[in-house]
Chains A and B, each alone.
Chain A
Amino acid sequence: GAGVSQSPSNKVTEKGKDVELRCDPISGHTALYWYRQRLGQGLEFLIYFQGNSAPDKSGLPSDRFSAERTGESVSTLTIQRTQQEDSAVYLCASSTAGDLYEQYFGPGTRLTVT
């Protein structure tokens, strides 16, 4: 079946502009995660959605970052007033409910802030 998809695959934006990144999880997956991967580094957790529960926003680095999810489907990550340090690959993952299940990752969106 279809995996996690993300769009756009690449985004170049000027410093100070807002950007919106999209994630389509695997159908039926109730959990959705956003991570950030800076060049040469591991993944940093940003935010986690589980069903209709309040999201865990503990990983968001500043109030310029926000995310929404419509039900158990699409999620958008918004970065306002982008800064050069926001340049990274933004990865989305989804999983079924329960803590035994692995996360399936999308291909990521490479964001470059000039």
Chain B
Amino acid sequence: AQSVAQPEDQVNVAEGNPLTVKCTYSVSGNPYLFWYVQYPNRGLQFLLKYITGDNLVKGSYGFEAEFNKSQTSFHLKKPSALVSDSALYFCAVRPTGSARQLTFGSGTQLTVLP
């Protein structure tokens, strides 16, 4: 069975600084990897996904993520954080060839301080 770990419940960063939200995964075979963001009282919004190809994936709102197969990681990054990036971020995984449910991490609360 697949699993996702987000080791940090909370990440604080100053506005304008780079941010990283960590994610590691465990899955049989090759993974499809996703990042979602959840703003207060709203549903999850898709940010980006890794399917195959280039290990650096670019997504919405200036976010990017780097797939590292040897470290089984898919960390979310942004070069310069904005206060409006403050939200709850979820990493998710699905095995290749499966159109079924995503397995989510427990989420990381990102706070960008002005």
Residues of A within 8 A of B (CB): 4, 31, 33, 35, 41-43, 45, 48, 50, 56, 59, 91, 93, 95, 97-100, 102-108
Which candidate, B13-21, B79-87, B93-101, is the interface stretch facing chain A?
Answer: B93-101
Residues of A within 8 A of B99 (CB): 31, 50, 95, 97-99
Say how far A13's CB is from chain B's closest CB, in angstroms: 20
Binary contact readout B22-41 vs A (1 if CB under 8 angstroms, 0 otherwise) = 00000000001010100001
The answer to whether B96 touches A99, judged by C-beta atoms less than 8 angstroms apart, is yes
When chains A and B are docked, how far (Å) is the Cα of A95 from the Cα of B44?
14
- B45 partner, pick from A43, A98, A105, beta carbons under 8 A: A105
B43 touches A59 (CB 8 A): no
Given contact pairs A91-B43, A107-B43, A33 touches B34 in the complex (Cβ within 8 A)? no
Residue in contact with B46 in the complex, picked from A35, A45, A91, A104, CB distance below 8 Å: A104
How many A-B pairs have beta carbons closer than 8 Å: the answer is: 56
By the criterion CB–CB under 8 Å, are B34 and A102 in contact? yes
A105 touches which one: B43, B101, B103, B105 (CB < 8 A)? B43
Given contacts A41-B106, A99-B32, A100-B51, contact A91 B44 (CB under 8 A): yes
Tell me the nearest residue of chain A to B107, going by C-beta: A42
B43 adjacent to A99 (CB under 8 Å): no
Residues of A within 8 A of B102 (CB): 33, 43, 45, 103
Q: Which of A42, A104, A105 contacts B106 (CB 8 A)?
A: A42
Interface residues, chain B, CB within 8 Å of chain A?
32, 34, 36, 41-46, 49, 51, 90, 92, 94, 96-107
In the complex, the answer to whether A59 meets B46 with C-beta atoms within 8 Å is no
**A residues near B41, Cβ cutoff 8 Å:** 107
Complex partner residue of A42 from B43, B51, B90, CB under 8 angstroms: B90
Q: How far is the CB of B74 from chain A (nearest CB, A)?
A: 14
Asked whether A33 and B101 contact (CB < 8 A) given A99-B32, A105-B36, the answer is yes
Report how far A107 CA is from B51 CA in the complex, Å.
Answer: 26
A12 to B83, CA, bound (A): 33
- Shortest Cβ distance from B44 into chain A, in angstroms? 4
Closest beta carbon of chain B to A41's beta carbon, Å: 6
